Amino acid sequence: MRTIRRGGSRELEIRKSRFICTLARAADEAEAVEFLARHRRAHRDATHNCTAYVVGEHGEIAKSSDDGEPAGTAGIPMLEVLTRRGLTGTAAVVTRYFGGVKLGAGGLVRAYAKAVADTVDAVGVVELRPVVTVTVGVGHAQAGRFLGDLHARGAQPADVRYGQDVEADVAVPLTELAEFEAWAARVTAGRAVLRRGAPGHIEVPVTP
């Protein structure tokens, strides 16, 4: 599962027409639709505001609009860039200010696709990997060694709390959950108290 690292905009000029692509992260379809509607209102003076979005855990919801451009020359090429990159949770709008020179169907397809592709490259992509936050509680006498073992393992606690005991919150990849719990029990001689939290995701940058 991948999404853009952050929202952002990038402008492309082709034969006097300005193509301004703006990307945003969207948790669901309602958020994508709201972002696109807000952008259209802010750029109502543009010749076209063509849109595409992909949302859902597996990108199962994907929609696009040509917004008055010839059918299939804007929204679909934009959407194809998002789907080829394996993105979800992403909304794209390309605002066009017509410069007086017609590009033809092929030129439009290339322009809208390039506007989105260039912007995705500019903002970056992250892979969303499923994790479960495991809270590990140990006594103060064991805490230093346990935290050292965690660092040696390559795990960085999200939070460490010192109270009656010491508690460390560790984001554990879902596929490694059972192995981590067995490891924590082993290195603490069975003294650790482990609690599983809600599942979530961590973001890992994807190199181009």
The answer on 107 and 133 residing in a single domain is no
Point out the domain boundary residue: 123, 157, 176. 123
69 CB-contact burial (10 Å; exposed 0-12 / middle 13-18 / buried 19+): buried
pLDDT for 202 equals 83
The answer on 133 and 108 residing in a single domain is no
pLDDT for 201 equals 84
Q: How far is CA 3 from the centre of its chain?
A: 3
The answer on 146 and 92 residing in a single domain is no
pLDDT for 33 equals 97
Cα distances (Å, whole numbers) of residue 131 to 87, 142, 201: 19, 25, 5
Helix (H, G, I), strand (E, B) or coil at 4: strand
Distance (Å, rounded) from C-alpha 66 to C-alpha 105?
12
The answer on 151 and 63 residing in a single domain is no
Q: What is the CATH number of the domain that holds 84?
A: 3.30.230.30
Q: What tens-digit pLDDT sequence spans the chain (208 residues)?
A: 899 999 999 999 999 999 999 999 999 999 999 999 999 999 999 999 999 999 998 899 999 999 999 999 999 999 999 999 999 999 999 999 999 899 999 999 999 999 999 999 999 999 988 999 999 999 999 999 999 999 999 888 989 999 999 999 999 998 899 999 999 999 999 999 999 998 888 888 887 6
Number of independent structural domains in the chain: 2
Point out the domain boundary residue: 72, 97, 123. 123
The answer on 10 and 82 residing in a single domain is yes
- Strand positions, DSSP E, 72-187: 90-97, 125-138, 159-162, 166-173
Point out the domain boundary residue: 70, 97, 123. 123
The answer on 133 and 118 residing in a single domain is no
Distance (Å, rounded) from C-alpha 123 to C-alpha 200?
23
Domain membership of residue 50 as a residue range: 2-123
Helices within 71-139 (DSSP H only): 75-84, 104-123
Indicate the helix (H) or strand (E) that contains 18: strand 17-25
The answer on 143 and 114 residing in a single domain is no
The answer on 83 and 185 residing in a single domain is no
